[in-house]
Structure 1
Amino acid sequence: MTTPTSARLALVALCCSTSLALAACPEQRPQPVKAPPRPPQAALAAGSGDLADVLTVPRPVGPEWFGLYLVGQKAGWSKVELSRELRDGRDVLVGRSEMLLRVNVGGNTVERRQSEERVWEARAAGRLVGFKAAFSGDGGERTVTGTCAKDRCKLIVTAADGTREQELEGVAETAEMADGVRLAAARRSTVRGKQLDLLKLRVREVQHVFVRREPVAGAGVQEEVSVVEESEIGDRVAIQYKVADDGRIVEWHLGDAIVGRPEPSDRAQRLDEVDLFALGRVPLPRPLPRTVPSTITYRLRGLPAAFQKADQRQRYERGPEGTTLLTITAKPPAAAEPARDTPLARAGEGASRDDLAATPQVDSDAPAIAALAKQVAGDARGTYEAALALARWVNEHLEKAYGASNDRASDVLAARKGDCTEHAVLTVALARALGIPSRQVYGLVYARYADGKDALYWHAWAEVRSAGEWIAIDPIFGQPVADATHVALGTDKQEDAVGLLGALKVEKVDVKGAK
């Protein structure tokens, strides 16, 4: 009874329309292609300088629509537009986007909407000067507005619990990031830059890399296009775009199963009934045990080398005929012995800041989170002991519900319900509130669906660190040690695992040591 969460669904869409005016082009070939028009020269601010490449690179005129397909089924749409305008006598470049994603999760319809507007100076390397964004539907309601000066942006975030102000430093987003894909295609080179992430309220480093020229055929016409890959620095799977010389984006895809297709607006908004449970599962040749200790070896096809990072639970080796052998061993950790459990007072020593810090989603600094963590941990002296108490509380006090998700831990606590991601994010936030290194894990887990088929399904759980090792715990299943059917594909910022949707295959499984 697990699912890819609604938060991860939004990430699928955001990965596919990462920045404004990048992701799609209309299908109508006869439409003229030209650069956005200049405002009247007399009205331009003095000293605006030459037009930036991003203003002159060819692109279709007007709003652009595309359909978002998951394994061949349409689950969403996006509308994007880039234009040059005068605002208060200032020459600016304005990017607008809208996105909707809708799927069926466990019998419930999950829908998310997002809209953004960003404003840059209309010149070469023009700075980001303002923005606004709205997020609604499953996952919670939130708006973000703000202005930027030099490398600092002031944000106003409004959510169900009120309004707060925040500052971000090191923001170096320029007008080139408004259309980095087309710029890379036109220059046949690489465009890099920093971009403000309005969902996670952070600065991310993005690169658009020209890869090659290749022929494509469509509507009876064959043409050559430029292939450009977009990724955040550190991503293991890139979004790949096919860009025509007149600026049309013929297609983009993330992995083999997530595809964006240019469509007229009416067609783009006609969605399929998408059952995400059935769509995202990886069939298994046999049932699997949910016991600890146990060791399971999976013979996988379609797992890229970048995902094969061994740790204390997972080990990889080359299998026959191009497959990968993944062996997962689940056993009680060293910290299960109280004498070896890291004392809670020293839990964060030597830990990465990323595994301890509060974030917009893991808001461990929220008063309600901090108070509950202290109350639930009680007189626990060990890190693992305290983490188990927190995970047990989450398991016992959160209603298991699909299609009623919240992205932020404090909102999960207020709602007292959610699926695997809500259980994981709240557990991690409670742990970090006590100074325990912790992180969310994304991957797959074994379950039997309503139709009786055994498969691995998209899932999320938590890891905490004690006695020198990361320990997987599953709060929604109530497992103090996650069993060997938990296949980890990424942690925290590695949501690029969604690029494997529909690509992974399990050809064989061997089980040892299971009761």
Structure 2
Amino acid sequence: KGDIILINSFHLENGVKKMRELSLQKSGFTLVTTTQNRKDEKKVSKPKENLSMQLELASWLKSKRIKGDTFDCFSTSVEEDDLNVPTRYIYKGKKNIQAQGVNLLLHEVDQETHGALFYSLLENNGRLYYGRMGKIIEYRLESNDVAKKLDDSLVDLIQISAVTLDKKLGDPVKVKSLKLSFVGEDAFDVPQSHRQIISKGKDGSLVMEIKRDFVLKTSVPLLLDEKKRSLAPSISSPSDNAKVVGLAIKIVGEASSDFEKASRLVKWIFANLEKTMAKNSDNALDVLDKKAGDCTEHTLLFVTLARALGIPAREVGGIAYMAGEKSPKMGWHAWAEFHDGKQWITADPTWNQILVDGTHIKFSEGSSDLKWLNILGGLTLKVIDFQKD
């Protein structure tokens, strides 16, 4: 079948090296991650991707296909908690293009992974010729010389992906509630909760009513499976690590309630992590080594420390109001939710908030929920009303 028995991955960012090796040992597959400060080893499941699967995809593409046909397979990622990533190819049709004077017949498909749809043009052998994620990220097959001819000007992904508003909201911390009309170029299911209600407007657009988070009068307990999933240690969130557990216990001190424990975690992370976009980490231990990161690192560390204390927690993502901008904008942002036995409560350690303000709009729940990528660059919001302190 052409099973995978070895993967070597090398990553270099801002002078910091990270190497990963997935290999088959006598006891099964082992993933070893090596950084400048540490070497971590973890037993993982067998990769489901193999050469036969790639050949089957090529055969599927070349056979007679109609719009809507699907092909299910797996890809392998040594950077995710579950290295077996389910992928579905959804056939859309054939497309002829001219490239350097040659006529190419390509297959137009959507690749669906973790809810994200990656529009693709594939060659007969399944090789990617062109791809698009959302409305602003493109992948192109180019020669080495062409690919290295980069523009002189730098691209600020935060700015080009930000969602423009038609009204300024001022200090987001003071926003109690926000009512918006929502228009997306693609269908998208927005999560709902006690603080985020979605309804249909008269013109067919979606209307979102967002409130500053609050404590419910009635309890909404977690289902057993959801609780187990929200407490489980993982490659990115090693909540069973002795260093992590010890630090979590030290931070919360004598706090008795989960709410007070979470509040102390938020304050500690906010005070002890440098705010920077230049020190990315995909593991909470790396975050602790660097003591720095953006909203994803702050959130990852909170989730890991909370789970180490036995508090169910998860990463959530969406947009929030960007204070200090010349024109009003909502930027893509990550924060956390923890369950205190009664309800999900929001916590934003990047902005030092427990019970987040009324501009935090949630689009995803959990680190593997990537549906929000489908509306990246294709979202229009209009302010209907907002209330402040």
TM-score normalised by length of structure 2: 0.86
Structure 1 runs (4+) greater than 6 angstroms displaced: 220-223, 346-350
Superposed CA deviations along residues 249-295 of structure 1, whole A, max 9, x for unmatched, are 44221222222122111111222321122211111111125246722
Aligned partners of 1:139 and 1:277: how far apart in 2? 22
Tell me, what secondary structure is at the counterpart of 1:385? helix
- Correspondence for 2:133: 254
Tell me, what secondary structure is at the counterpart of 1:212? strand
Q: How does 1:465-504 map to 2 (within 5 A)?
A: 465-491=339-365, 492-504=367-379
Match of 1:228 among 105, 109, 118: 109
Aligned partners of 1:474 and 1:379: how far apart in 2? 22
Q: 1:327 to 1:151 in 2, by over 3 A?
A: farther
Q: 1:214 to 1:321 in 2, by over 3 A?
A: farther
Q: How does 1:427-442 map to 2 (within 5 A)?
A: 427-442=302-317
Structure 1 unaligned regions, length at least 5: 1-124
Aligned partners of 1:348 and 1:371: how far apart in 2? 28
CA offset at residue 471 of structure 1? 1.0
- Correspondence for 2:35: 159
Superposed CA deviations along residues 122-180 of structure 1, whole A, max 9, x for unmatched, are xxx33222221112215953212233379942222222333233221353222144467
Tell me, what secondary structure is at the counterpart of 2:311? coil
Aligned partners of 1:274 and 1:267: how far apart in 2? 18
Q: How does 1:390-469 map to 2 (within 5 A)?
A: 390-450=265-325, 452-469=326-343
CA offset at residue 231 of structure 1? 2.1
- Correspondence for 2:181: 299
Match of 2:212 among 320, 327, 330: 330
Match of 1:135 among 11, 15, 36: 11
Task: Please say if residues 291 and 483 of structure 1, whose CA atoms lie closer than 8 Å, have aligned partners that are also in contact.
Answer: yes
Q: How does 1:141-220 map to 2 (within 5 A)?
A: 141-148=17-24, 152-178=28-54, 182-187=58-63, 188=65, 190-218=70-98
Q: How does 1:38-49 map to 2 (within 5 A)?
A: none
Tell me, what secondary structure is at the counterpart of 2:83? strand
Q: 1:164 to 1:467 in 2, by over 3 A?
A: closer
CA offset at residue 478 of structure 1? 1.2
Tell me, what secondary structure is at the counterpart of 2:322? strand
Q: Which has the larger radius of gyration?
A: 1
Structure 2 unaligned regions, length at least 5: none
CA offset at residue 223 of structure 1? 6.3
Task: Please say if residues 190 and 210 of structure 1, whose CA atoms lie closer than 8 Å, have aligned partners that are also in contact.
Answer: yes
Task: Please say if residues 175 and 386 of structure 2, whose CA atoms lie closer than 8 Å, have aligned partners that are also in contact.
Answer: no
Q: 1:367 to 1:198 in 2, by over 3 A?
A: same
Identity of aligned residues (%): 25
TM-score normalised by length of structure 1: 0.67
Q: 1:178 to 1:158 in 2, by over 3 A?
A: farther
CA offset at residue 313 of structure 1? 2.1
Task: Please say if residues 156 and 166 of structure 1, whose CA atoms lie closer than 8 Å, have aligned partners that are also in contact.
Answer: yes
The amino acid that maps onto 1:448 is A
Superposed CA deviations along residues 352-381 of structure 1, whole A, max 9, x for unmatched, are 322112222222223222111101111111
CA offset at residue 182 of structure 1? 3.8
Match of 1:283 among 154, 161, 164: 164
Match of 1:368 among 243, 248, 251: 243
Task: Please say if residues 184 and 210 of structure 1, whose CA atoms lie closer than 8 Å, have aligned partners that are also in contact.
Answer: no
Tell me, what secondary structure is at the counterpart of 2:172? coil
Is 1:270 aligned to 2:144, yes or no? no
Tell me, what secondary structure is at the counterpart of 1:238? strand
Alignment RMSD (CA, Å): 3.1
CA offset at residue 347 of structure 1? 10
